[in-house]
Every structure is written in structure tokens, then in C-alpha cells.
Structure 1
Amino acid sequence: MSQDHSTSLQLTTDQTNLKSIICRALEKSEIFRQRFAEKFHQTTLENLCIKSSAIDNGISNKIFTIELSSSSPSLVETAIEKNSIWSCMEVILKITSDKSTNIPSLFNKTLNEACIMKFLHANLAHQFKSPTIYDHTDGNGKGESEMDYILMEKCEGMALNLIYDELSDEERRLLISHISEMRGKLCEFAFIPEDSHGNLKETLFGSVLDIKVVNDKVAHVTVGRNSDGDGPFESFSDFLIANFEKRIEEMLKDERVSSLVYNFQQLVKYLKEKPLSISSDLYQLCHIDLTPNNVIVNPSTNHITGIIDWEWGVMTLLDMDINELMTWTRNDQEISFLKECLHQHIPQIGKNSNFWEEFEGRRKLFLALDWAIRLSSYKNWFRNDETEAESFIVKALENTKQFFMENSF
């Protein structure tokens, strides 16, 4: 690309492009037109002000709040003084980073997230909160100023992680119970995967390209390559092996972490020699980052108003979400309570008396993959902050070494 990333980003969020994005959504989305008309009593941008403000300037996403208002911010006080009607509507614009980031793990990300969230909103809106998708590109953005994006509803509230550690034990237990129930509602659907030729499979691990609802309990899912560009995979072991091998390839390029490559290579060898035997009942649509960071709550009531950031959502083993739900706990009592809640709300767990023993045996694989991701990605994550990168990698190296001292493969 001839332009730098900041220039490319500006081209996407200037007034001309913002108007184009909003106009396209008004044309394509009936629900956006309806909400827009209810707010402004019109269906065009005539005489409206558009303002954007950055929420997150991350490596793989740039997220903005787009404010549409019936007068410019400088005229709001005047409008109020004259008892004029002033209306405002906020939406979220999520842009996938362009090719200048040199990140390989963006394949299908926009389409993947949009497909999942549209399914959730259409079929589980009351049980599994997620923002309404107003419009999105098809995941094939081309050209220097074109990026893939999603325009969506803004969930009212704040990210749960901002207040979670300040909550009382009882408040945390209520939220743990609620998120367990929500995860259970999603488990009531049986997801039957299809390959790119429309052939039904027992399991197929990868990203979501399309979801066709057969009835209120069954959906067919077109499964594509994983978000890192590989797959889809017919077994969970193959899914894990490919993920580890990709991280190993990156780690070999970095002297700081290459000394740990042997440990991960031994883990891959272990998985190839002893493939995991897992019931297909545990095959599910998973968020895989279902932490308080991606949960929006009403701070007055602590009620969950939305689950966001489904871009890495994948058809995989239910364990991957349960592993993330463990981050909601702060002590052994809360871990026990979480297990009780999941046992109550998720049939796949309730009917298997050995589930938790088997889960703990598999969990070390997820922890190992998490460390592999951290060691191979930290330079991209902190590429604009060398001090933070150094602090992060020192701790990650120490923890990874400790992990392999405690777990052999």
C-alpha cells in the first residue's frame, strides 16, 4: 500500500465515507430505516450532523461510535434554549484492519461475526443478547481505502470488566448464573456443519460462513476456514495441531521465545500420537472469548445487555467457552458455583457424570494454546508500545515456563 495505516483509516472515517456507510445501511436494512425514521422523522441524512469518535484502536479492529444528530454539537444548547427538538442516535462502526497491518488472522472475520450475530438476534434475542447488525461488507474488501466493516446497534451500558472486581460476591454469583443460563440457551441448538460443497458432516471445526435454521432446535452451518486462514478441520485434534503449528512458525522468528518452541513441538507430537476422543454432543458454536471484557451490562442493575465481539466465534468444542467462563470466578467457591450452574443449564454437561474430570484433562491444552498465542502475537499487540511489550513478554515467558514444568506432554 502506498499510504500508511493512519491515512487509510482516516479515509474510512471521514464525512464522505461515513455518509456513504449510513446511506447504504438505510437502503439495505429495514430495521435501521425504521429506527432512524422513529428518531428523526425522515429517512435521509438531510440536515443531520455525523460525528465519529474512536472507542478502540486495536490491531485487528478499529471501533467507532457514530453519532447522528439533528443539529451540530455547537448548536445543541441553542436548540434547547429555543425548545427545539434535538434528536440523537448512536451506532457502532467496527472496521477490520486493512492489509497494511500484516496480520494473517483476519480471514472471514467480518462475515463470521455478522453471520453469528444475525443468527443470535433472529433466534435467541430474548435469551442471548447481542447487538442488531444493520449492515456489513462481505469480507472481501479491496482497494486502498476499502476495509471490511460492520455497522451495528450500540448496546446500552458499559463493559463488565470495568466494574467486575468491585462487585460483591452475591453480585458476581448472579452474573455467573446469568451468563451460564445464556450459554445454556445457545446449547439448546444442534449445529450440523456443512462443507463448502453442501455435504453434511458430524463435526467440522472452523469459521461461520452461513447459518440456515432448519427448525427451532436445529441449524445447518456452512463452515469455512478458521480465522487464521487454515481449515476447516474434521477433528478437534487437527484444529489444535494446526493452531499450534502456526504459532510455532511465528515463534521461531523471535529469539526471545524460540527457546520454548521444543515444548510446543512435543505437545503437537503428543496430539498426533494420541488424538482426542470427544463426543460430538460437545460440538457447538462458541464465542471463545466469553470474558467480562466482552459483556455489556447496565451499571445500575448489573443486567447483561449484550454479548459483543464475535469475530473469533467458531464451530468448535464447548470446552473453549467453558474455559473462558472460568475467568469469571475469583475463588474455589465460585468455581464450584459456576460448575453447578453449567451443569444445570447445559444438557451436554448434565448427562455426563465424568464431564468435569475430562474437561480438566483437556483444559491444559487450551492453556498451552493461550500461551502460544501470547508468545507469537505480543509484538503485533503492542507494536506501538515497546515498554508494554517488554513487560508483557517477560511475564508471559515466566508463566509459560512454569506451565511446562507442571505439565508434560
Structure 2
Amino acid sequence: MKSAAVVLAGLLVLAAYYVYLPLPSTVSDPWHLMLLDASFRVAQKTCNLAHSLGLGHHLRLLNFVICSFDKLNTQSSEKVKITDIQFDGVEVRVYEPSTGGREKTLRRGVVYVHGGGWALASARGGYYNNLCLIMAESLDAVIVSIEYRLMPNVHFPVQFEDVLHATKHFMRPEVLAQYSVDPSRVAISGDSAGGNLAAAVCQEMSQEENITNRFKLQALIYPVLQSFDFNTPSYQQNEVTAILPRFIMVKFWIYYLNGSYDFAYSMVANNHTALDVSQVGPFREHLDWTFLLPSRFRKNYQPVTPSAGEAEIIQALPALLDVRAAPLLAEREVLRLQPKTYILTCEIDILRDDGLMYAKRLEKAGVEVTVDHFEDCFHGCMIFTTWPTDFSAGHRTRDSYIKWLSQNL
């Protein structure tokens, strides 16, 4: 009995050691966040082990685990009609608020692109289904949530092209009319990797002359916008933080661009954009965070710019410099064509500075931008609003985001 108690105590200590993660004192619901992060790490490690045993690709296995859990949280509403359909061959889920017996009038519309590192989650899963339901009800808007194809089945630029094709289909005059959507009141939005795709598609469509209808707004939630510098202040500050540590983000980029895992450690050190890598020179000023970030975000962090690096990484992964993958690299002439923009950022997030730098570059190009920054919130929090992943951070960020859309769309 005594030995069993000792073993149990030892296991509890190990469990506590694994769960504990140093977090800023400002973070809301710290222990809840640590438990969520520990669960995610266990799932990742288990799927990595299964991958090494030849039981399946770890990303596919991880997505199966996430989507299986996600289905438990799926909600429905009698006030919103949900339809699964294809737009130009791409699967989408459309949310249409009921008319409530009144005469059908033109509504607002939002194209939403879910996050998940271009590899995880689903428009049909509980987290994003619940978000889009609330958006449809709160905004009295038609929401089109795009179920783009994921890694490892496809890689860049397929995800971008899926979102582009589905969005262009929805923006056709006859399709907007079919859903009673006002062509002058449509936004494109997305979170994390979905924010990446939303920004890239918005840039692409802003340059096409033959498009009849254009977006009134874009709303980007903690977007990932560049793979040029993995040592911005937010990457350095949150290197090992919850949900999305730096090394995991670097691996997501490598998988997205169908590259070699061998590049990971070198990219973490910014060797792919060293001073002697001539291909990156024209883009360097677009990501000069010493100029683009306010001092309160720069703090005392210093740029990491190796004098000598590995040009072979850019040669093997030229898409690292493709604006369809990294919208922050776009030229001023493209940025000035972008619509009124909302960018939500979280302090406890490696991607904080991606959003802040994009906001500054858009402002310098003459675009009206609202930055909604949350000091106590973390990456991914906006979708965590139901048990057992119910965070105050999720409710506050979601409500602030929907409020801005309601006031501006």
C-alpha cells in the first residue's frame, strides 16, 4: 500500500511537471490553458509515434483526433438554415438566417476561412460551426464557411486556390442574388492560417479587373502572414508558449510548402533569409519590425539577421517569397487596393507581430485599419467558447470581433 502511494505520488508529480508551462502573469484562465496545451501536446506526440510506426501520417491522425473531439461540441439553431454545397468544386457550408416571416431583404455576407495550420480542423466541426452560427444570428448575415482541402493530401497553392475559387463563385452577381446578399456589404475573414488565406485571396481579387463585386471589409484574426522572420519580438517572447510554439509553426510552414523537415532548425535561426541570400533582398524592408512595430512591442529584442545562411532553402522552397503564401510581402501598390481592415492580435502569440506589421503597412498605404489587441489572450482563443474548452478569452475576442463587423459591414 505504501509503495503504491509512492508510485501514485510520483506519477502525479510527473503529470504536474508535464502540464505546467510558464505563462505571463497577465494570461486569463492560466491553468485551464495549461491543461488544454498539455492535452494538445499529448495528442501530437501520440500521432507522431503512430506515424513512426507506419500507422498513418501524423497530420492526418491528429486531424482525426481533433475533428472527433470537435463533433461533440456541434450546435444547431432553428433560426439559421445550414447547407453543405459546392462552390466551383470546393466544399462550403452556408449559413442563412431565417426571414422570421418578414419580407426577404438583402443581407450582409461574410466569407469565412477556418484556421488550423493549413492541415487541421474543419468548417463542419463544432468550433467553427458554432462560430459561424453565432455570426449568422448576430449579424443577420449569410456566412459562407469554406472547407478547403488540407495537408498532407495537398500543399500550397491548393489551399489558396480552393479559397479563391469558392470565394469568386460566391461573389458572382447571380450567386449573391440567390442568397439575397447585398453586393456592397460582403467581408472576407479568417483566423490563423485561415487569416493567411483570407488576406492572400483579398489581395488577389483586388487586382483582378474583371471582378464585378469587391469586398467591403476584411477581418483577420491572429493571422499568419510571413515565413521570412521567425525571430520577431513575438516569436522570441512566445517561443515556447501554449498552443502554438515557434518550432511547430516553422514545421507547419515547411509542410505547407512541401519542403524538407531538415530545414526546420536552420529556418528557426533565420538562415533562409540571411544577408548573403540575394533572393530575399527586395523583401527585407517589408518586414523591418524595428520600424513597423511600436516600441512597447519591440521591447529589448534584437533582430536576428545572420550574415551567412543557406540559400538552398529558398531555392528548394521559392514559395517562401510568394505573396500568395506570405501576404505581408506584398508591394505597396497591392496593399493600397485592400478594403477597410480589422486585425485582432493576442499578446501571448508568436503571430502577434505578423498582424501588427500588416496593419502598419496597410495604414502606410492609405487603408483604414482597426487593430484590436488583447493583452491577456492567446493564439486560437476565439473558437474556445464551449465546454470543456470554454475560455473567457474566447468570449471576449469573439464578441469584439462580431461587434466590429456589426458596426462596419
TM-score class, shorter-chain normalisation, is: under 0.3
| Structure 1 length-normalised TM | 0.27
| Structure 2 length-normalised TM | 0.27
